[in-house]
Amino acid sequence: MATKGEQFAGLTVALVTPFRDGEVDYAALRKLVDWHIEQGTDCLAPVGTTGESPTLDHDEHERVIAAVVEQAAGRIRIMAGTGSNCTKEAIRLTRFAKRVGADGTLQVGPYYNKPTQEGYYRHFATIAEAVDIPQILYNIPGRTGSNILPETVARLAEIPQIVGIKEASGSMDQASQILSLCNLTLLSGDDSLTLPLLSLGGRGVVSVVGNIVPRDMKALLAAFERGDIAEAQAWHRKLFPLCRDMLGVATNPIPIKTAMKLLGRGTAEFRLPLCPLDATGEARVRRTLQEYGLLPRE
């Protein structure tokens, strides 16, 4: 059975949103796009969780998508984050993303209002009916407070515009059920679970650590794709501490932005309620980067 959404297989990086003096730093954002193109990243997902979408106003949300698409200029695919817990708002953002030329959109499960499974279905189906653009579901119960069940995903998979799912429930059983029920392209929503999900039939990852080591994440994916399981396992073991600490030291994207600052690639500036790490947390991120070989040991 052919897989829908093959164009989104591979490495998608959940792009950070750089800030400077409280405002979006669009010049820095454009440089990040160029850097990822140089690194060989397959796709960028701006304005998702890692892009701090909850603290961007509507105008900024649109401007970030437009800037990334414009800078990409067709050189890299763009999967714009246009989800919302308000269906009307998600449609508005999705229409905007299509209008400016995004290749697809990432649709997070409605957060806080915790819809029923029928509510999930109607939400995503309504967006798909309103906007003819490839859409990737995003299931992350730890953020939304509710789980999109595999049976609901299978119903949604029958809709032509819905082509994939970023699965971040952390459950291998749930991923297995999704893959057995439908033909969506399944992407890992957790860096550390990329290899396990590939072994089940997943086709890639929407990555946080890809903000700093996209080539290494691509090497893991490529090794698995060509059947070199030993090399894929070696990359998994190397990447695992980095994956763990970029999500475990504090709430995403605090650690990854801190890492980028330490590597000379950002300001580690946030908007409340997110705030910088304390000295202990930053020291832990520094040690992780040193142990990986990204910073010299002191």
pLDDT for the residue 183? 95
Q: Collect all residues with Cβ–Cβ distance below 8 Å to 161 and sequence separation of at least 6.
A: 128, 131, 132, 133, 134, 135
Look up tokens 């979006």; give the residue: 24
Element (H, E) at 184: none
* pLDDT for residue 2: 67
Instruction: Look up the CATH architecture of domain 6-216.
Output: Alpha-Beta Barrel (3.20)
Q: One digit per residue, pLDDT tens: the chain, 298 residues?
A: 568 889 999 999 999 999 999 999 999 999 999 999 999 999 999 999 999 999 999 999 999 999 999 999 999 999 999 999 999 999 999 999 999 999 999 999 999 999 999 999 999 999 999 999 999 999 999 998 999 999 999 999 999 999 999 999 999 999 999 999 999 999 999 999 999 999 999 999 999 999 999 999 999 999 999 999 999 999 999 999 999 998 888 999 999 999 999 999 999 999 999 999 999 999 999 999 999 999 998 7
pLDDT at residue 246, rounded to an integer: 87
Please give the Cα distance from 219 to 225 (Å, whole number). Answer: 10
What's residue 3's pLDDT?
Answer: 80
CB of 207 closer than 8 Å to CB of 215: no
What predicted TM-score, i.e. pTM, was given to this entire model? 0.96
The dihedral over CA atoms of 53, 177, 1, 214, expressed in degrees to the nearest 10, equals 40
Which residues are annotated as catalytic?
A: 138, 166
Cβ(258)–Cβ(20) under 8 Å?
Answer: no
**Whole-Å CA distances, 68 to 30, 61, 72, 74, 102:** 7, 11, 6, 10, 9
